[in-house]
Structure formats: C-alpha cells, structure tokens
Amino acid sequence: MTPSYGGCMGASLVWVGRAAAAGFAVAAVWACATSNELPPDPAAACTGGTALCGDQCVLQQSDRQNCGACGAVCKSGEVCNQGKCALTCSGGLNNCSAGCVDLKNDTKNCGNCGVACKSGNVCFKGACVSSCGAAGTLCAATADAGAFCANTQTDTANCGACLNACSPGQACLSGKCTDNCGPGGSLCKDIDGGPTYCAQTMADNLNCGSCGTACSPGQVCTGGACQDNCGAGETLCTDSDGGAPYCARTDSDNQNCGGCAMPCPQGQSCQVGVCAVACQSGLTACGPQCVDTKTSRSNCGGCGNACPQNSVSCVGGVCQ
C-alpha cells in the first residue's frame, strides 16, 4: 500500500526501490514524481533468472517459499523441483539448501551443495573452471543468467551457438536443430520433461535398444542390448568423467586410439591403434608427412626406405 504523504504538491508518490541481488532485500524508497518521471519497474533489477517476490529476488525454479510463483509454498518434506513442489528432485537435479539444483553447472553448488565458484569462473561438469574444455563453449552472462558452458553440438537451448534454441520437439545434432537424428539415431523425449534429444540406441548406455532404456552399472550397450562384455575387437572403457562404461575399437577409434581415452591430435586419425596423419588416397603417412612411396626417394617402396646416392629416382616404389 502506498503511504500517505502530503508533501508532493500534485505529483505522485511512487516507490523507487531497487533489488540488489538474489537473496538480498530490496530497499523500499518512496519519492515524489510526476507521470513522466516514473522510475523503471523494480523487478527489472532482478537478474540471474530470479524474479521479484515482495522485497526479495528469488529463484522460482528452486525456492520452496515461492515455487513457480510468488507465495507458492511447498509442504513440509517437499522440495521445489523446476518450479513445482515434489517429494524428490528429478531430471538429474540434487536437493541442496537452495532447492533442486544441477551440481554439474550451478556456480553456487558446483560438484557439491554449497561449493561456490569464484567470480569469473563457471561450473562445468561439476568443477569450477575458467574455460569450458574441448567440448564446451563459454557463453557470456545475460540479464537472466550468469556465464555458463554449453555443448553447442548437442544442447537444444544453445544449438550451434549460445542461446540459439531449437523449436519444441526438435533435437540438436552436430550443432543444427533437426527433426531427424540421422542414420542409426532415434529422436527421444526426456521422461522428466527435459528437451528432446538424439540417441544412438545401438550403443547408448542410457538408451539401449530404445529411448530411456538404461543399462545396469558396469554393463555396456552393444548392438542395442545391455551386455556384461564388449563385442569382438572392442575394449571396455571407463569414462574419465565418471560416466557409464563404453565399448571402443581401439584400433580405429580416434578418441580411444591404442587404449581407452587416448585421443588423436587434430588432423590425425587412428590407424591400427596408432595416431597417424590422415592421408589422401594413394599417399602413405611417414612420420608427420604424407608421401607417395612409389616416387619418394626417401621412402621408396615404404617409409624410411631411402634410395642410395647413385640412384636417380624412385619409380613404382623401386630405386632407379
């Protein structure tokens, strides 16, 4: 209610408070103003995805006292999960004092409840970092959220670029919004109400054979079925980030060349378990170079097979 004040002399008495930040009170300051001097809406000062409820900026996605809307209080024993009161957190979220949060990307609860990242850092895969690693793109802070990491190749909210969201029902595949997941891919819908995604159901441990069918811990998805062992020629690998185990062809897999989690440098490919320069047809990788062993005097007929000094040329892989 606007307080009674007789000193405005024809002008309106208005509230010119500003919200300081999430969790801090908004100062209730009243002043005289004419109609063309009215200040901006105080709610505009709430940032980071928060909303103004009374004199507080709150996160309605996780605040038990304002769950989904101002004044919507969850019952005793309930949590605020994505703006709805529930008995438990779902969708990969964890119950912290701030509500249901994602420990993999929450800068105030990074990796564990209450672990806050310092200014300028972001929470990426549960660790406070200054950059997002090879698979992540650092997206700048906006009026609604702080800086964050996104995989723009698969993230439907940041597909191909930060904040480039796909339409409902679409998935992000190789940085492009699509209704079709390509050969071997299935378009899956998150059972917890999350975004649509693409899955390789023949090899995906979380979607083995069909969307949402997860293998048991220690099992791998091979040929669309959960197995205790990998197929012929494959090696059982453990995800270094704590993810599910997976099968890899260490003789040809660029990310697991010669062994698990042994990626080849950019520009090289895995050939018989060894990272080598990816050469065009007709050329052979000899060290860091692609050569024609039919004509190279230094590699005549094979890598390192140099022609003697009295030879003029290499023809058909034979020194002449």
Q: What is the pLDDT of residue 175?
A: 87
* Residue 199, pLDDT above cutoff 60: yes
Distance of CA 295 to the CA centre of its chain: 48
* Residue 2, pLDDT above cutoff 70: no
**Summary mean pLDDT of the chain:** 77
CA distance 308 to 5: 105
Percent of the chain with pLDDT over 90: 8
- The residue behind tokens 């034979």 is 318
Given pLDDT bands bounded at 50, 70 and 90, which one contains residue 135? low
Tokens of residue 183, six digits: 């050969």
Per-residue pLDDT, averaged over 31-48, amounts to: 52
Look at 25-34, 125-134, 273-282, 283-292 and tell me which has the smallest mean pLDDT. 25-34
Q: What is the pLDDT of residue 107?
A: 79
* Residue 156, pLDDT above cutoff 60: yes
Q: What is the pLDDT of residue 192?
A: 63
* Residue 13, pLDDT above cutoff 50: no
Percent of the chain with pLDDT over 70: 77
Per-residue pLDDT, averaged over 21-27, amounts to: 39
pLDDT tens for residues 261-305? Answer: 888 887 777 888 888 777 777 888 787 778 899 999 999 999 889
Q: What is the pLDDT of residue 31?
A: 44
Region of residue 246 (left: phi > 0; alpha: psi -120 to 50; beta: else): beta
Q: What is the pLDDT of residue 26?
A: 41
CA distance 165 to 174: 14
Q: What is the pLDDT of residue 3?
A: 47
Task: Provide the pairing of β-strand 220-222 with 268-271.
Answer: unpaired
Per-residue pLDDT, averaged over 241-269, amounts to: 81
CB 42 within 8 A of CB 15: yes
Q: Which residue pairs, CB below 8 angstroms and at least 24 apart, start in 148-156?
A: 148/105, 148/122, 148/123, 149/105, 149/122, 149/123, 149/124, 154/197, 154/198, 156/195, 156/196, 156/197
Given pLDDT bands bounded at 50, 70 and 90, which one contains residue 242? low
Q: What is the pLDDT of residue 44?
A: 56
* Residue 316, pLDDT above cutoff 90: yes
Q: Choose between 201 and 149: higher pLDDT.
A: 201
Per-residue pLDDT, averaged over 74-82, amounts to: 84
